Amino acid sequence: MKIITIEEEAWQQLNSRINAIADYLKRLEDTGYDDLWLNNHEVCQYLHISEKTLWRMRTKGEIAYSKIYGQYFYTIGAIKDMLNANAVQSSDEFVQELMAKGKSYIEKGRKLKSGKP
C-alpha cells in the first residue's frame, strides 16, 4: 500500500473540483426528463386528474402548454414547475402527525385483511 501526501491547499482544490463535478451531474440527472413532452392523457394519468381539471388548470394559466393541430402538450419541466409553485410547506409536527395516521391506517388495514379484530 502506497501513501500519497499532498498539501492542504491542493487537497481543498481537488475536493472542491470533485464537489463541483458531483453538483453538475446531479443537476443533469434532475433535469434529464424536463424537456420530454406529454399529451393530455399522459399528464392526466401522471397527476391522477381528469381532463376537465387539466383544462381548468390550462385556462387559469397554472400550467404551461403548447397546442399543435388541436392537441395540447406539456413538458415534464412545466409540470414540475406547476407542482412546485403550488407546494404547501408544512411543519414537522404536521408531518409527524400525518405519518402516525398513515401507520395507524396501515395497521388497521392489515388487521382487517387478516381477519383479526
pLDDT in tens, 34-87: 778 899 999 999 899 999 999 999 999 999 999 999 999 999 888 988 888 877
What domains, with CATH codes, occur in the chain?
33-112 (1.10.1660)
Cβ atoms 71, 41 nearer than 8 A: no
Integer Cα distance of 85 and 78 in angstroms: 10
> In percent, how much of the chain has pLDDT > 70?
87
3-state secondary structure of 85: helix
CB burial class (10 A; 0-12, 13-18, 19+) of residue 88? exposed
Closest CA to 77 of 37, 28, 117: 37
Going by C-alpha positions, the residue among 77, 69, 83, 75 that lies closest to residue 37 is 75
Find cell 388541436 and name the residue. 70
Q: What is the mean pLDDT of residues 108-117?
A: 58
pTM of the model: 0.51
